[in-house]
Structure 1
């Protein structure tokens, strides 16, 4: 199983070197693709230097800041074009623990042709695995109360409106089977920010792909500045509402005979 870890970066100079070293140590067989948006602090150049030292790391340089969704669309397309079997997405700021990557990979690593019962007993067989803060065993460490409440409310609202059956639709720590990504065509998504992550889950569920959640502990970043903003939150909630209305209208529309 060929796996690649796709990591968007913008002004992450303090994190990029230790992060790449940690990922390479956690999953030595996996490759890493850094998608850098021409970071003014030199993250892209430092990623190139670190790639030369560590090996199995590539850097995709983009001309400027274009958003999280756009970065993942570009990175996923490169991963699919290069024939990887599994694509992992995660943050570079250590909010997502690199040592948890093998757990996500194990949940999709079932030999081709394995029947559903055997796959379930093996704990694998999912087409997408989400590192979840809100399943038993998951947690958010070091978060203030208002941030925990906002995140939980957002995910509960998303679950209520879209009916995804997923507790953490906004977690960016995931592993996707490449065949599932091809089927949902990330290049045709339109959302930016963290709404992009919800849009992918929605497409997976609509297409009938098994989505599984495994517990993770999400920690706040130690270095650098968070890219989260009130604009991103508002955009996400508006899009979720629009998708929910679209789904409701679609279900109620009479079928033509």
Structure 2
């Protein structure tokens, strides 16, 4: 990232006085080279607690997290990012948190932008705040060409079936009011949601059920390719993100 390219500059953000109990959750699988960078970006008082969900990493990811003194929950076998987020939501609800922040464990997101996600929930009554690299003020960098295409197509389909304009439906940087998971129409415990399906499922349900939804501009900088910029497989991974749109819109899945 360089100051010469405005597309790569971190977006400006406004701080907010935090009055809700907030849990931040980086989800990680084999991120020993990057999870420490993510945790180092958190400043004191930004959130009430950080919880790393480790989806059965085979490298030193758990060791790095423990050395940082951060709360860690490790799956005994790899279950998928959806299952990891489900574990985080369960922990958050069982421990009195009111808002959960989900972010990448590979240093794509910027924790200093968390106040931008929190402010609409705490001060304006929103229930789901989605980060968008494509809104004015947002930024992205090092994104592979196929990713740029895919992350433009998905929002078009998602917006069509929800009748709600969304610019960045695949961005995993978001804040959610945990009380929405008390709604019996949001069933995150379905096995088909274990991989990449859970995130679009929750967003779809939140919008269709009338919860207050908003996007805010954020930064998304992919790590260098040699460090591994994604764990997602091009075909199966993107189908995993796409299929909730069709399954929910057609009523095949609830």
Give TM-score scaled by structure 1 length: 0.82
Greater radius of gyration (CA): 1
Counterpart mapping for 1:75-224 below 5 A: 75-110=88-123, 124-183=124-183, 184-188=186-190, 190-222=192-224, 223-224=227-228
Question: Are positions 1:64 and 2:66 aligned together?
Answer: no
Q: Which runs of 4+ in 1 moved over 6 A?
A: none
Q: Decide whether aligned partners of structure 1 residues 194 and 164 sit closer, same or farther in structure 2, where only a CA change above 3 A counts.
A: farther
Judge conservation of contact 2:104–2:173 (CA < 8 Å) in 1: yes
Across the aligned residues of Structure 1 and Structure 2, the Cα RMSD in angstroms comes to 2.2
Give the CA deviation at 1:46. Answer: 1.9
User: What's the secondary structure of 1:246's corresponding residue?
Assistant: coil
Judge conservation of contact 2:25–2:53 (CA < 8 Å) in 1: yes
For structure 1, which runs of at least 5 residues remain unmatched after alignment? Answer: 52-56, 111-123, 251-257
Aligned length: 230
Q: Decide whether aligned partners of structure 1 residues 170 and 182 sit closer, same or farther in structure 2, where only a CA change above 3 A counts.
A: farther
Greater helix percent: which structure?
Answer: 1
38, 48, 61: which is aligned to 2:66?
Answer: 48
Q: Decide whether aligned partners of structure 1 residues 68 and 86 sit closer, same or farther in structure 2, where only a CA change above 3 A counts.
A: same
Give TM-score scaled by structure 2 length: 0.83
Q: Deviations over 1:100-144 (max 9, x none)?
A: 01111112113xxxxxxxxxxxxx221111111232222332224
Give the CA deviation at 1:181. Answer: 3.1
Q: Distance in 2 between matches of 1:37 and 1:146?
A: 26
Structure 1 residue aligned with 2:236: 231
For structure 2, which runs of at least 5 residues remain unmatched after alignment? Answer: 1-19
